[in-house]
Amino acid sequence: MLLTSFIAHCRVLAVMVAGTVLATSAAATGWQGAPESLRLESVGEEIRVNGTPMLVRHFESSQSAEAVLEYMERDWSAAPWSAPVHHSTLGDWSILNQDIGDRHRSVQVRETSPGSIEGLLAVTSPALHREPVLSIRLPAALSTVSVVDSVDQGRTAQQIMASSPQSCGNVGNALESVLRTSGWTTPQRRQSPRALLISTNRGDEQLDAIITVNGGGSMAVINIVGGARP
């Protein structure tokens, strides 16, 4: 699964893991508890959601969401630690969560079309949590909702989701002003009645932002892709 596709799910994952963090690959052996028929695909080399490192696997299947979740709940419930498996939903996602010692595992599944589902498996551990550091200075009009840091194929990336009580236009103007004073090239702007797109670069860094109407205010999703990791 491409990391850019995974980014769309990060708001759900942030809710799933809420303050827990990643164990090493070796320590995470056997954590999935998924049907053998599922083809699990790694997502990114390193991912950190709201300061929480995560080991993530993506899957698609023709099995029903109910069948996959029932299998995993049985498998997880049979584990020696016997921690409770918690059910929840968020939008069209069905979610299972379970503590496994000092780690935490989650699975989220949704139907993508009749007869097809997709899902994400994640394992986290609280010991490695650290506060995220933003790659850009946000204007005062924006309040951070979530931050996703990642490394994929040697390139770093950060997604910042932020909200504001102000309009798309006002938020866009404030963001462009900050970017200009921070050494980014003159931002390119595209606008529709309910969304504003801003693109710019600084050396080998690329920034793309989309600001959309959100109730009486706006929501900004800012993606910054950096150069090769040193």
- Number of compact structural domains in the chain: 2
Structural domain includes residue 137: no
Say if residue 96 is in the same domain as residue 155: no
Per the confidence metrics, is the pTM higher than 0.85? Answer: no
Report pLDDT digits (tens) over 159-173.
999 999 999 999 999
| Final residue of a structural domain among 78, 93, 128 | 128
d(CA 216, CA 202): 32
| Final residue of a structural domain among 102, 128, 154 | 128
Give the up-direction half-sphere exposure of residue 180: CA atoms within 13 A in the CB hemisphere.
9
Mean pLDDT by 10 residues, the chain (230 residues): 46 44 35 76 82 88 93 86 86 90 88 93 83 94 94 88 96 96 94 92 95 94 79
Structure tokens at 1: 């699964």
What was the pLDDT predicted at 32?
66
Beta bridge partners, 206, equal 201, 225
Say if residue 100 is in the same domain as residue 213: no
Look up the domain containing 198 and give its range: 143-228
Say if residue 151 is in the same domain as residue 204: yes
Structural domain includes residue 136: no
Q: Domain of 181: which CATH number?
A: 3.30.160
Residue 112's Cβ-count burial label (10 Å; 0-12, 13-18, 19+) is exposed
Q: What is the dihedral of CA 71, 74, 80, 85, to 10 degrees?
A: 100
